[in-house]
Amino acid sequence: MTDVFQRKRLLLINPVNPERRGFSLDRSSRYPPIGLAIIAALTPPDWYIRIVDENFTSFRFREADLVTLTAFTSNVARAYEIAAVYREKGIPRVIGGIHDSMMPEDAGRFVDTVVIGEAES
């Protein structure tokens, strides 16, 4: 097995809209998105993977070789903010999720690659 410090670093991020209201305020309604776990499971073993879910962990910059984000329309602005942090560092960014599957041209302005459709396929 490759040493963790020699592996490429993949950062998977679930952003959260900071203007939470109603249902999203209730901790019992916060579920990690399964798509990020599926991507982690499908990633080759030569990658070190970290999942950051803003429902449970505050975002802070973490070194990475590739950053992926998932987004609903309700949190896409936050996803684009986080993507901008990594754009400034020259780190490639990928985004997927329902919003970006429906509006890939919009998402493409903020990331290098837009994934359309379900992670499972």
3-state secondary structure of 29: helix
pLDDT score for 5: 65
Q: What does the block give as tokens for 83?
A: 């993507």
pLDDT in tens, 57-99: 889 999 999 999 999 888 899 999 999 999 999 999 999 999 9
Q: Check if CATH label 3.40.50 holds for domain 8-114.
A: yes
Assign residue 16 a region: left if phi > 0, alpha if psi is -120 to 50, beta otherwise? beta
> Residue 19 has what pLDDT?
75
